[in-house]
Chains A and B, each alone.
Chain A
Amino acid sequence: MKKFAYFPGCSLDKIALSYNHSSVDTAKLLGVELQELDDWNCCGATTYFHVDQLLAYTLVARNLAQAEKAGLDLVAPCSACYKNAYFTNKYIKEDPDLAEHINFALEGDDLQFNGKINVHHIIEIFVNEVGVEEIKAKVTNPLEGLKVAPYYGCQIVRPRKDGENLENPHFFEELVEAMGAEAVDFPYRLRCCGGSLIMTSRHAALDMVRKLLQNAVDSGADVIATACPLCQVNLECYQLQVNDEFGTTFKMPVMYFTQLLGLSLGLSKKKLGIGSELVSAVPVLK
């Protein structure tokens, strides 16, 4: 069984608990063990970087160092955690001066980081480590007739990591099709949900959410699939506020892709945390 150090992040502790359970259980069914990182700390989201860069990289590096100590690559299901871990890892590897500063601080927790691991988002584990063909072969409950809008959001594709296709990626669509569902053409799939602006610049963020929901409706989607807890909360939990602010009547379920994947692999709705949504997904799931 392939094994990774799993960094759930603060959101998956409570707000996105269903993402946490569905990630671990679905991965296990596909032969991947996600071993939770010991005593992990918050990745800082965007806010550490608003205050101090060196502090930000150091706090992210504490999680990297613990994964390295366990001899495992790090996997994060939250796009913001992933972006921070990915780039901190990259910059420490490239910059010995930064590495020295960070390692001096890490000594405070008897840790050190030598840049010997890689960082992945959990969707990459399913797409690259397990593989779409392998998933297709293991699907026992194909989600036939379900129209899914695959929502990439920002940080699983941006900023650029390697030579990946930034403007027209396909991997999310391929994953959705592997589950037996239909991936609808969703033009706004790479557009930002507003992120933490939902707390700091409310009106702007609600309008960004409105545009995404409208685009998903126009695409004929039954459900939006996400790979990020912040996207899920913005798109789902704030539909009430969007409807009130703009006079719309959205009732669009927003699910983690791991919940849909788990269903297609025969896991129960309960086990996947389906039922904890504010906009129920049950009517669209057969």
Chain B
Amino acid sequence: MAAKPTFSQEISNLLYASHGNPLKTCIQCGTCSGTCPVAEFMDQTPRRLIGMINADLKEDVLKCNTYWFCASCFHCTVRCPAGIDIADAMYAVKRYSIWHKTYSEDLVGPTFSETFVKTIARSGRSYEPILAPTYMFSMGIKEVLQEAYMATQMMLKGRMPVLPAKIKRLDNFKEMIRRIIPVGGAE
């Protein structure tokens, strides 16, 4: 029987289709962490996260907020001297954590992403008001009031959708999704 893949091999497999170099080629220079505009809010910097993946520290990797705090700005990716697509690696760990439901519960990102994708699977278009509950619960009263005030102002300026938009050929669209993912989301 074949040996079970290690955590770092699992993440590498998720990066199979990526266009960068393998995480194993990381030289731990820290250019990514120095470049990252969100690094100061992360439990672990991008450099440390890659080191931790390479060292198979699965639990430590999955419990940190680093990859869900990546804003997809791709600044690390374009600067990495080892040619690793670091932002894409963050996506790979995000997918891993969604599939295995291993993300930390106080994070908004995973629920937000899943709700967003389900909204698209139902209508073909995004609709902001449906997304609001996924992040409002994490806020205090003051923030909720600010959010409501902003939404009202935008509505008055004609910038907030009242009704959800829908594409015309929705049945075909759902059939397309079924051809990729046979179950879930598109009923």
Contacts and interface: CB of A to CB of B under 8 A. Distances in A.
Given A196-B71, A200-B107, A109 B172 contact: yes
Contacts of B157: 275-278
A62 B173 contact: yes
Q: B interface, how many residues as a size bin?
A: 35 or more
B87 to A, nearest CB: 8
Contacts, number: 194
Given A53-B17, A109-B172, A241-B143, A199 B71 contact: no
Given A191-B37, A276-B157, A50 B120 contact: no
Contacts of B175: 108-109
Contacts of B74: 154-155, 158-159
Given A158-B77, A278-B150, A199 B112 contact: yes
A39 B41 contact: no
Contact of A110 (B109, B143, B172): B172
A186 B144 CA distance: 33
A50 B72 CA distance: 11
Contacts of B116: 45, 47
Interface string B114-143: 101100100011111001001100110011
A13 B72 contact: no
A195 interface: yes
Interface in B56-112: 65, 68-69, 71-75, 77-78, 85, 87, 91, 94-95, 98, 107-110, 112
A44 B120 CA distance: 8
Contact of B113 (A50, A197, A207): A50
Interface stretch (A99-107, A170-178, A218-226, A255-263): A99-107
A278 B112 contact: no
Interface in A263-286: 275-278
Interface of A: 10, 13-17, 39-42, 44-55, 58-59, 62, 91, 95, 98, 101, 104-110, 154-155, 158-160, 166, 190-192, 194-197, 199-205, 207-208, 211, 237-238, 240-241, 244, 275-278
